[in-house]
Amino acid sequence: MSVEVEKYGIDFTWLDSDIATLVYILPSAHFTDSGDEDVIKGNDDSTLYEVQQGVEISNLVILDNGDLEFNLTSKDGNVTKETIKR
């Protein structure tokens, strides 16, 4: 049986072909003044991580132990690496 799921976002990744581990970045609307922030979402659309306005999330990966690792880029171009324990 095949199940199709439609999601909008970037950097979709999952662990060991298990769609239940799917995580992705829901980017802010860059060309509007909506005040949205980049968010990391789980397969069930839960919010796993949210940044302040003006900070971008990129390079999302799931580590072998299930933790999430990604980069945060500020408006001034400063990049830091973050890890979320899961």
Q: Which residues of 50-62 are buried (b: 16+ CB within 10 A; e: fewer)?
A: ebeeebbbeebeb
Q: What is the pTM of this model?
A: 0.83
| Amino acid at the residue 71 | N
The domain ranges of the chain are: 10-84
* pLDDT (tens digit per residue) in 28-77: 876 555 567 899 999 999 999 999 988 999 999 999 898 999 999 998 99
